[in-house]
């Protein structure tokens, strides 16, 4: 089977999961084609595409990080089959992000090099870009064998640092409304905290109660960081603006969004744990 037949699993069978993942990865491209007229007649078409490519690269980076916790919570081990595809997909969008940026600079490579070393948000984006390139280049089975499983896993754990750099880059270039970057930061904190709690408890899976604790703690941190951010921007005490970040009049704030995502994980875990134990019980009864 050719490695390019991404819709087939390792045994060469057609895989519904892979087809869904592939469709998800191609969605931003299809959306850009549908929006072609609006983009082409907009003020800065290339800049529009730079934003789209960067945004989706970050989304897919987050999705690839969420696969391990999600497959454990949903008791759906097969998901691991699409993690690499989504990670590499994220890199493809980030490669396009850089190519579009170079095109926007009229292929003036001296200027690009100078900007990449002098503008802080580009220095940080550039470091994240290099990190993702290294992870994409070492993502093949051959590379895992060459580097060795343990060293490969350590190298690929740097994905959390890379995601943090990408997030900082996103915050730095978002001039007005930071609601979406704050929500993304909350989700990244949840993903990182999930790994840290698992590592600290020396257990891969977290209990439903631990997941509930995680959801509440991370959402409180998100509320606090939004208040601190507003406080710094407007030069006021974060305590004075704290009530505004809970306020529904200003839309559903990132803290609530993170709480909703965390609680969804709690509910899924609760349902799946009951389901799996019922399945196990009926299998034991059938065997008796």
- Contact residues toward ligand HEM (CB under 6 A) are 47, 50-51, 54-55, 57-58, 61, 94, 97-98, 101, 116, 122, 125-126, 128-129, 132, 166, 169-170, 173
Q: Which is nearer to ligand HEM, 9 or 115 (by Cβ)?
A: 115
Q: Give backbone dihedrals phi and psi of 89, rounded to 5 degrees, phi first.
A: -60, -40
Q: How far is the CB of 15 from ligand HEM (least distance, A)?
A: 26
Alpha helices in 82-178 (DSSP H): 83-104, 109-118, 120-137, 141-147, 149-156, 159-173
- Cβ proximity to ligand HEM, 185 vs 258, nearer residue: 185
Phi first, then psi, for residue 259 (nearest 5°) are: -65, -45
**Closest distance to ligand HEM from the beta carbon of 115 (Å):** 7
Nearer to ligand HEM, 61 or 135 (CB): 61
- 69 and 63 Cβ atoms separated by less than 8 Å: no
Least spacing, CB of residue 92 vs ligand HEM, in Å = 11
Nearer to ligand HEM, 37 or 177 (CB): 177
Query: Which residue has its beta carbon closest to ligand HEM?
Result: 54
Smallest distance from ligand HEM to CB 180, Å: 7
Instruction: Identify which of residues 73 and 129 has a Cβ nearer to ligand HEM in the complex.
Output: 129
Cα(166)–Cα(121) distance, integer angstroms: 9
Nearer to ligand HEM, 49 or 206 (CB): 49
Least distance from ligand HEM to the Cβ atom of residue 214, Å: 24
Q: Are 74 and 268 contacting, i.e. CB atoms less than 8 angstroms apart?
A: yes
Neighbours of 224 (CB within 10 A): 14
Q: How far is the CB of 223 from ligand HEM (least distance, A)?
A: 23
Nearest to 87 by CA among 111, 115, 58, 113: 58
Nearer to ligand HEM, 72 or 169 (CB): 169
Are 159 and 233 in contact by the 8 Å Cβ rule? The answer is no
- Of 187, 177, 163, 196, nearest to 258 by C-alpha is 187
Residue 139, classed as helix, strand or coil, is coil
Tell me how far, at minimum, the Cβ of 245 lies from ligand HEM, in Å: 22
Sign of CA dihedral 54, 57, 59, 61: negative
Measured from the CB of residue 283, what is the shortest distance to ligand HEM in angstroms? 44
CB-nearer residue toward ligand HEM: 47 or 138: 47
Q: What is the DSSP letter of 246?
A: T
- DSSP sequence for 197-216: HHHHTT-SSPPHHHHHHHHH
């Amino acid at each position: 089977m050719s490695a390019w037949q991404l819709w087939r699993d390792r045994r060469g069978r057609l895989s519904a999961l892979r087809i869904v993942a592939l469709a998800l990865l191609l969605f931003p491209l299809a959306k850009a084609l549908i929006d072609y007229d609006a983009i082409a007649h907009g003020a800065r078409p290339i800049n529009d595409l730079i934003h789209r490519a960067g945004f989706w690269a970050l989304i897919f980076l987050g999705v690839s990080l969420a696969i391990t916790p999600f497959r454990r919570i949903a008791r759906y081990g097969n998901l691991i089959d699409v993690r690499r595809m989504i990670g590499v997909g994220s890199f493809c969008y980030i490669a396009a992000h850089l190519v579009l940026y170079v095109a926007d600079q009229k292929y003036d490579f001296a200027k690009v090099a100078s900007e990449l070393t002098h503008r802080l948000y580009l220095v940080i984006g550039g470091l994240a870009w290099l990190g993702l390139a290294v992870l994409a280049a070492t993502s093949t089975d051959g590379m895992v064998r060459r580097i060795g499983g343990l060293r490969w896993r350590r190298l690929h754990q740097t994905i959390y640092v890379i995601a943090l750099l990408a997030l900082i880059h996103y915050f730095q270039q978002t001039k007005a409304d930071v609601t979406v970057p704050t929500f993304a930061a909350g989700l990244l904190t949840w993903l990182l905290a999930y790994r840290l709690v698992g590592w600290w408890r020396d257990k891969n899976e977290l209990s439903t109660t631990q997941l509930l604790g995680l959801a509440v703690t991370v959402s409180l941190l998100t509320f606090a960081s939004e208040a601190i951010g507003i406080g710094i921007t407007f030069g006021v005490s974060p305590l004075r603006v704290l009530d505004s970040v809970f306020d529904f009049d200003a839309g559903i704030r990132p803290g609530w969004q993170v709480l909703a995502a965390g609680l969804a994980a709690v509910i899924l875990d609760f349902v799946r744990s009951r389901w799996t134990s019922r399945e196990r019980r009926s299998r034991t009864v059938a065997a008796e």
